[in-house]
Structure 1
Amino acid sequence: MTWDDYAEAWSGLHGGFDPRRASPVVRGWVLTAYTIGVWLGRRRVSPMTVTTIGLLVCVAVPFAARGSLLLAAFLILVAAAADGLDGAVAVITDRVTKIGFVYDSVADRIGELAWLAAFWVAGAPGWLVTAAGAASWLHEYVRARASAAGMSEIGVVTVGERPTRALIAGLGLVLITVIDRPWLPAALWLALQFAGLAQLSVAVRRALR
């Protein structure tokens, strides 16, 4: 499967959003997943296997944070890579399933919960971590309900999407080792989720009006 073929298939699974016309960060994220996905597909690695490995790595993050925040940050990087790879392998090997889509979404939410738990382990206030998690879950819930209500596209790529959360989680843990401000990454996560939710609300209103 060529990159153009993959981009078109990926677009069909993401509400018509074309990664070839996305920002450099999003385009690079999808292109990297495609490249590695081709390699995994040739070795008959299943999408479910990739999703499960990514989930297990995420669950290990807060435990790793008890000993080393740098190790926890590295595990987030590995999990973020796996997150894009399961869908890539599914598309490339023509193994896209509805149950796989649901499993991947649930794994994403559990994984983000584990990342936030690492912030708490690192010293961030529990109320701030909880608020950040609630905001990101609300972000995804609004999009899901809007799609169920008839929004045919993803609406808009906001500043609070999952790649941004992964970036904040990984770099945030590294930042805590440099400056003693364990609340800062969680606060940044929360702020970007509110900003993303505002962007998404405008798009949903426009799509469903």
Structure 2
Amino acid sequence: MTVNLLKAIITAVEQSGYEVHATVCDMGGSNYSLINQLKINEDNNSFDNPVDPTRNIHVFADVPHLLKLIRNHFLDHGFHSADSNETILCDSVRELIAVDKGNMKLAHKLTHQHVSVRGYKRQKVSFAVQLLSNTVSQALCFLGERGEIKSAGWLLTAQFIKLVNDWFDIMNSSLRIDPSGKRNAFR
């Protein structure tokens, strides 16, 4: 994709009677180059619409791709919490998998594969969604409060997973208005 081709596509769509408000891409090398050429950065997330310069076109990273990147970083390195000055690691999730066994599992989809995912399986969005889910967050809280999760950072990990889950629900929404009110897309 080039800047000229992107603007030509936007122009064709606009001339067909539709308004373009945003574009979405993964963070692959060629798209990263395009983003740089459009001068998109943490301080500027849009560029002028080539048909109507009074309207900006916002640039978003592909949300499922971002979720996989968050999962990979969580598994490989963890995240530093500036609030608590602690590192959020996957240790308590591994402990949850070890403790949560039997017929009545709390995190029923969570398996050892979710925390040891390698190679092409890291491309599976479903593994990332299941690991960074509200179900896993709630299971950590339930078992942590009962003293069955011994890892020191279980609560911070549960809060982090809930935050990522809620962000993903909003950003991955295909509904403008969700009946539950939990997954309303930004307007």
Higher Cα Rg: structure 1 or 2?
2
TM over 0.5: no
More relative contact order, 1 or 2 (CA 8 Å, 6+ apart): 1
Relative to the length of structure 2, the TM-score reads 0.27
Relative to the length of structure 1, the TM-score reads 0.25
Determine which structure has the larger strand proportion and give its number: 2
